Amino acid sequence: MISYLAGLCLLAPALIPLSGMAPGIAITAQPPNQTDSLVVPGTRLGPVTANTSRQQLAQIYGEANLKDGQIPVGEGFTQVGTIVAQGTDHQFTLLWLNPQRTKPLLAQDLGPAWKTPEGLAVDLPYTDLQAILGKFAVYGFEWDYGGTVALQGSNLQKYTRQLLLRLVADPGAIVSQSQAYQALMGDRLFASTDPNLARLNLKVKAMIVYLNPPPQ
């Protein structure tokens, strides 16, 4: 498990924020020109691939649906990014590998329209996640990587280091099931079958898709 934590450190810029929207960027609710919403981790996000440039992104979605900015990535740092179709179910934010914006690193802040072939998506209930993944583990809550799903050993372990899922508990359940929530806090892994997880009305809060490996 140490090796997996080391991998999380490499992915830290994407894990820390649950919303990477840059401050001061106006919201647009215009529908995107492109409605392909299939996510294949490590390969593509709809028509966006590992080699899609900023120029090509405009050709796909239309310049009016793009907003460039410095995207917060945690601990006071930012990264060059482009928000696409903000305010729609097809929204996402691309973080670029370089300032020239010729290759994307990852996509985050995905809207609910985006789904993997297996049905993974933002807002997916925990019971549905269990049905898709089988056995897996979840990092405890209330720390930097709280609620992160460990895909190793699951039915979709092939997506390890290509797809990141973060879970969030229902606010009401945190209050009414406070003992269960407190039992799941901290920097450690819990089996997906832990009965305390079932008490928190969990859902997928964030889905982060890598299109290129992070720089070493």
Task: Please report the pLDDT score of residue 163 as a whole number.
Answer: 97
Q: What is the pLDDT of residues 172-212, one digit of tens each?
A: 999 999 999 999 999 999 999 999 999 999 999 999 999 99
Percent of the chain with pLDDT over 70: 84
73 inside domain: no
Q: Is residue 97 part of a domain?
A: no
Range of the domain at 157: 126-210
Structure tokens at 107: 């996509």
146 in a structural domain: yes
Mean predicted lDDT score pLDDT of the chain: 87
In a domain, 197, yes or no: yes
Residue 98 has pLDDT above 80, yes or no: yes
Residue 182 located in a structural domain: yes
pLDDT on residue 36: 87
Assess if residue 174 is contained within a domain: yes
Task: Please determine, for residue 165, whether its predicted confidence score (pLDDT) is greater than 70.
Answer: yes
Confidence category of residue 34, pLDDT binned at 50, 70, 90 = low
Tell whether 166 is covered by a domain. Answer: yes
pTM (two decimals) = 0.83
Number of domains in the chain: 1
Compute CA distances 195 → 96, 99, 148, 184, 192, whole Å: 40, 46, 17, 10, 8
Compute the distance between CA of residue 215 and CA of residue 100 in angstroms, rounded to an integer: 16
Residue 198 domain flag: yes
Q: Stretch 66-75: mean pLDDT, rounded? A: 90
pLDDT digits (tens, 9 = 90+) for 3-31: 334 344 444 444 444 444 444 444 344 44
Question: Rounded to whole angstroms, how far apart are CA atoms 129 and 119?
Answer: 9
